[in-house]
Amino acid sequence: MTSCLRIALAASALGAATAAAATAQVPPNLEAVELARSHECVGVLGRLDVLDQSLAPLALRSQRLLAIGEAVALEDDAVVDSLDVADPLESAVRAWFEADAALAARYVAQPSPELQEERTAAREAIKTRVGEAVVILQRQADSVIASTGDLQARAGRCAGAILVRGAVLESCGATVSPVCDAARDSATVDPTHRFVESAEGLWDLQELRAWTVPGGLTVTPDGQLGGARTVGATRLGNVAVTVAFSPWLQRRADLTPEAVARVDILTDSLGFGGDHPEVVFVPSLLFRATLPEPIGGETRYLFHFGPPEEADIVLVAGAATGVPLEGRVPLMPSHLARLAAGEPLTLTAVRDVADGQTDAVYAIELTSLNQGQAVGALAGYMASQLATDLRSLIPPGDTQSVLPAN
């Protein structure tokens, strides 16, 4: 486990005037990046529309079979009249409902374990048939998706993106497609396709989502741990940034004795404790940002408290990686205190200049709506109840099936 990052990046060299300008200034490469995105997304979104049309019949059939399977599980015969007797599977389900009703009547007249076992076996058999049909549909859908090659990878840049109208129209030409039709109709607001008239206009579009209300630790239906987290989301143009505060759970066996000792010191200093024989936890922040390529010539990203010229750095991440930014760090007590006090975090993009100095290129203040209340509530849960819940939800020897990979 790494310690919280405090890297000297000559933050003091980020003068007040430079930092203030960076906050408001449009990143210098933004126009080129966004025009390229808009041109590319015309083709990508068109291919996605074709894919959606191909998958639609499979999706409708899958939804229907899932509803039928639920009706079988609940023995809800209200579905019987809608079953298609020309369909072999639905006909079999109808036959099961009729046979089960007869068995149920016999059981009411003369209860016996044998009749109950017969009913249970028949119900499980038809549930299995329906479930197998759903699996086959999923395999067919996976095959269709696989045939599109790199479409899924490229779709991440386009799904939900705000596009530059003029660039889209240039790429559309006479093409008829949902995105092209929406770009041509500037008078109608299309919630699926959003446009700006210039790339610079993207930097004026900000969306803030309050930090979510945290709950306790739970085990999800697929056997993984869930809950015990709060997330804040900020979007500036097409740059979406999320920050999640949660306990970072790790197996003791995966850590060195020195790392375990550091964790124990940290959790003791926070008053969290934790006596699970196989699992340790520390409060952490998980950062994600849609910044696979620089939009201002930056070389690194700083996540920090305070203004850039006085940055109290929490995380440093490299730029130009080709993939969305993601990083996780354990929180030191001072950072947890600032987070719980509602102090906003800032993402500052910096570039290297002469003599090892750095300049701030642009800065995005992240949402602090409901931050203090949500973080305080979850920190309180970590200090008072989490250790008990860990023992209950993760029995000794069961960490491999429950704990997520880090």
Number of Cβ within 10 Å of residue 148's Cβ equals: 16
Q: Which of 2-6, 284-288, 392-396 has the lowest mean pLDDT?
A: 2-6
Sign of the torsion formed by the C-alpha atoms of 301, 305, 308 and 312: negative
How far is Cα 360 from Cα 22, in angstroms, rounded to an integer? 6
| Reported confidence tier of residue 11, pLDDT bands at 50, 70, 90 | very low
Per residue in 76-87, pLDDT tens?
999 999 999 999
Phi-psi region of 394 (alpha: psi -120 to 50; beta: other; left: phi over 0): beta
Q: Which of 6-10, 199-203, 340-344 has the lowest mean pLDDT?
A: 6-10
Task: Match 């058999």 to its residue by tokens.
Answer: 125
Give 41 or 280, the one with higher predicted confidence.
41
DSSP state of 291: -
Residue 374: exposed, middle, or buried by beta-carbon count in 10 A (0-12, 13-18, 19+)? buried
Once rounded to an integer, what is the mean pLDDT over residues 335-363? 91
Q: Which of 19-28, 200-209, 237-246 has the lowest mean pLDDT?
A: 19-28
How far is Cα 314 from Cα 328, in angstroms, rounded to an integer? 10
Pair 332, 262: CB distance under 8 Å? no
**Beta-sheet pairing, 194-196 with 345-352:** unpaired
Strand order in the sheet with 312-318: 312-318, 300-305, 345-352, 358-365
Residue 13 has pLDDT above 50, yes or no: no
Per DSSP, the residues of 294-337 read -SSS-SEEEEEES-GGG-EEEEEEES--SS-EEEEEEPPHHHHH
Q: Residue 297: what pLDDT?
A: 92
Q: Residue 19: what pLDDT?
A: 44
Give 383 or 123, the one with higher predicted confidence.
123
| Reported confidence tier of residue 399, pLDDT bands at 50, 70, 90 | low
H or E stretch at 94: helix 88-109
- Spans of all domains in the chain: 52-146, 205-402
Q: Residue 255: what pLDDT?
A: 77
Tokens of 89: 């599977």
Once rounded to an integer, what is the mean pLDDT over residues 27-41? 95
Q: Which of 8-22, 138-152, 300-314, 364-378 has the lowest mean pLDDT?
A: 8-22
Per residue in 93-109, pLDDT tens?
999 999 999 999 999 99
| Reported confidence tier of residue 3, pLDDT bands at 50, 70, 90 | very low
Residues making up the chain, counted from first to last: 406
CA atoms within 13 A on the CB side of 176: 0
How far is Cα 319 from Cα 342, in angstroms, rounded to an integer? 28
